[in-house]
Amino acid sequence: MPDTNVQFPDVSRFSAVDDVERPRQLIEVLDVAKRLPGFPAAKAQLLDRLGPERASSAIDVGCGYGADVIELAQRLRPGGSAVGIDLSETMITEARRRTAGIDADVSFQIADALALPFKDNAFELARTETVLQHLADPARAVREMVRVTGPGGRVGALELDQETMFLDHPDIELLDSLRDSVIRAMAQSSIGREVPRLFVEAGLSDVQTVPQVITGDAHAFRLQFAHHVSELCDRGQITAERANQWWSAIDAAAAAQHFTGGITAFVVWGTVN
């Protein structure tokens, strides 16, 4: 059972990382999430479909701490360069720290996905990952990615669909409440399934989609739900005893090696006309 004195992050706050009290907690959440079973495979599939080996320039929109920008740059044509943008100064600072000394042409800057500071056709490839779910206007962000990608270039996204979240837990009523709380907190809770339509509406051709189940472990679900459990307790909607029972059931399932939970991600890509 987690220490009740520990403050867990609100994982819906990635749109305002610099405004949270402990922004490094959100960086740690990213580190955990990107290692979950299914996530590396989904990321690899997106990169393969984008075909960076055929491109000389790329942009990662909402790059976080920059790991994907490095991989992009390393797979571009010789002499190619990759740019990562993020609205968070914290994330860009971390990206520059993590990429210091890396043998790849990468750069980072603070910028808004809804108004990319680049000319039309500036890149040959654009990608984004678990960013659209946090934006007030994801369609505009997609249009911006298309705008800065030249004809024949590819645009891709990996997005979670929060409404597909599943968890085997005996307290089904509380699970439903927590899932509803997560969905309400997210700007775009069903964005995963919506991305193919947004791509087509933005003018991309040959749009293709592959769903990928990403399974989580007890720690990942604790990071996902802890803030919401605490809020329900604070509002008097559940008792501390019930919250403790919630965590005990998760710990017991993990100890017995039958913990089952996850979410569906959608890998989507298309070509600029």
| DSSP one-letter string for 141-169 | HHHHHHHTEEEEEEEEEEEEEEEEEEE--
Span 4-20, mean pLDDT?
73
141 contacts: CB under 8 Å, gap ≥ 6? 61, 113, 114, 128, 131, 132, 135
For the chain, give the mean pLDDT.
Answer: 93
Tokens read off for 167: 């968890």
Question: What's the predicted TM-score (pTM) here?
Answer: 0.92
Residue 2 has pLDDT above 70, yes or no: no
Dihedral in degrees, nearest 10, Cα atoms 45, 51, 55, 56: 40
Residue 3 has pLDDT above 80, yes or no: no
Q: Are 88 and 58 in contact (CB under 8 A)?
A: no
pLDDT score at 58: 98
Residue 163 has pLDDT above 90, yes or no: yes
Where helices occur in 34-171 by DSSP H, the ranges are 39-50, 67-75, 89-99, 138-147
Span 13-23, mean pLDDT?
83
| CATH code 3.30.70.260 for 13-271 | no
Query: Which of 24-28, 44-48, 53-57 bottoms out in mean pLDDT, i.e. has the lowest?
Result: 24-28
Span 266-270, mean pLDDT?
98
Q: Are 86 and 117 in contact (CB under 8 A)?
A: no
The residues spanned by each domain of the chain are 13-271
Indicate the DSSP class of residue 60. E
Residue 141: name the closest of 60, 23, 209 by CA.
Answer: 60
Q: Are 47 and 75 in contact (CB under 8 A)?
A: yes
- E-state strands within 123-260: 123-129, 149-167, 205-215
Q: For 196-240, how does the pLDDT look when each residue is reduced to its tens digit (9 = 90+)?
A: 999 999 999 999 999 999 999 999 999 889 999 999 999 999 999
Q: For 117-135, how does the pLDDT look when each residue is reduced to its tens digit (9 = 90+)?
A: 999 999 999 999 999 999 9
Q: Are 88 and 66 in contact (CB under 8 A)?
A: no
pLDDT score at 7: 58
pLDDT score at 33: 86
With a pLDDT cut of 90, the percent of the chain lying above it is: 85
Q: Are 85 and 108 in contact (CB under 8 A)?
A: yes
Report the DSSP pairing between strands 205-215 and 149-167.
Answer: unpaired
Span 169-173, mean pLDDT?
97
Query: Which of 8-22, 96-110, 148-162 bottoms out in mean pLDDT, i.e. has the lowest?
Result: 8-22
In single-letter form, the type of residue at position 109 comes to: Q
Query: Which of 28-42, 191-205, 256-270 bottoms out in mean pLDDT, i.e. has the lowest?
Result: 28-42
Q: How far is CA 124 from the centre of its chain?
A: 22
| Separation between Cα atoms, residue 141 and residue 130, nearest integer Å | 13
Q: For 55-102, how does the pLDDT look when each residue is reduced to its tens digit (9 = 90+)?
A: 999 999 999 999 999 999 999 999 999 999 999 999 999 999 999 988
Span 25-54, mean pLDDT?
92
pLDDT score at 271: 98
| Separation between Cα atoms, residue 75 and residue 131, nearest integer Å | 22
Could you tell me the CA-to-CA distances from 240 to 17, 23, 179, 245 in Å, in that order?
Answer: 29, 27, 19, 9
Could you tell me the CA-to-CA distances from 89 to 54, 62, 109, 161 in Å, in that order?
Answer: 31, 12, 9, 27
Position 13 confidence tier, pLDDT thresholds 50, 70, 90: confident
